[in-house]
Structure 1
């Protein structure tokens, strides 16, 4: 045998190493993506590029193209100057409420920074926008657990009944609560100083879920046969689908186990043949480390092959037992209970690995 026998505590540590290796491998695969995303999310070069492109588009009066670039630049590297330009862009597009809120934010930031010029610039635009702001008032009847949304954004309960600045245009208002039917409406808000009041009614309890009527036990005629055939076909199709899914997963796991087995055998063999690692079959600490690493791969291989074979077997059983035709299903509907197929897939765990099995009567 390639591997020496290990005492029980060592075997337990070996199994934990196998699990850890899988987790670390997944983390290693995801790490470059996460690092790239983190790097791009704070890239000052990209933020500056987007800012300059947004400014160029604004000078060309292409505001619809400029605003998204300035928005992304502000997200990558927040700055008062970028925020002021973004507010100007939204103001040019007629998004008065959005621009007003951004000028307000820039005003507070400018005061904190001690930039009097920017503070005055923001205050000037706030004063010009406020008389033109359109608003909505949401009034709602009391419903337990009520949640009101405008364009998908939650509105705090404290804001109900208060005029809320909103951009001109069409807006979707929705009210939901657990156990109640959803209520929604669309409101059209005017361009300047419009005020719309939306009355959210008390929500109605949701209707109980419709349950399918059970087929008659001994019904005669075509209708009874059709019902029996449909029920039999649906159950068989479900078992067949589950069988293919479980079998496919088992094949994939089996392949992984085989790969780890090949790697383990090769690593152990190379270590034993290397005179620098295992001279005269007496392994140095480095050689022993190589053998231990090979044993870890072997354990992963054993578990993978065991789970894969079990899943393939369970999938095959499910597929084979789902093969009855619709007519056979219809006949079974009137037959005695022992003639029916009852099966369920259950996970199996043991000290040397795991798998899945099928329990039931066939």
Structure 2
């Protein structure tokens, strides 16, 4: 009794013998030419030689080329074996299924039980991936699995995948591309939910622009503006301090003259007292001016006579974009 799994060396020899008869059969008039059939048979034999050596990658490549030239049941079966050996379980499953729907022939009849057993085994081992999109009904939707486009009409069904890690991308007009990796164990079923987010970047609205004074670089507008606004309070502070100092000096001179007067009630004493009073008044006025200038500088507010240019403002639109997988 033949074991469920194909024994690579023995099976390759048996397939080679079967191919000699199947591929040598005359082709229909509308099918490949005799030269094409000969090339397909030659490439198939090369694939069988690689299979005997255990070089299944090369064997699979030769079987694919041979099948592309001439479709033959034995090539489908051989390709399924090579795909199964190289981990392409989904592809192997479909190759075996395609072999089983071909008309039964004496040369390949003995492989039919093995193909049925392989189908049952692969159906348990392949994984499935269900892709869910939100929103799902958008224009220009494009979904790719490992770089291969998935038809939109097939998105509502679980998709067979080989065990391992896969990359899924989804995009649509007006939406950002979503990219996600998913790992699937043999025989597992994974559900991947992709949330499409609208594309778009909010930009600041145009606002008033400050104009640089002549001869001043535009980058120095902010630094030059407050300096012009501070000229008046600085002048008040400096002038007030100077006036205060002058008043104090005049008052001191008046005090000295009053103390030197011969009598307290004479003209000299009255003039000295008047000079001291004037000095006090001048010093008080200077102190008041200096205090006003200092207060303006501390509060950062220029007097009404020196209005400041309005600072430029920009209105920024709020951004409410989120990315969820």
Report the TM range for the smaller structure's normalisation. Answer: 0.3 to 0.5
TM-score by length of 2: 0.48
TM-score, scaled to structure 1: 0.43
Q: Which has the higher helix share?
A: 1
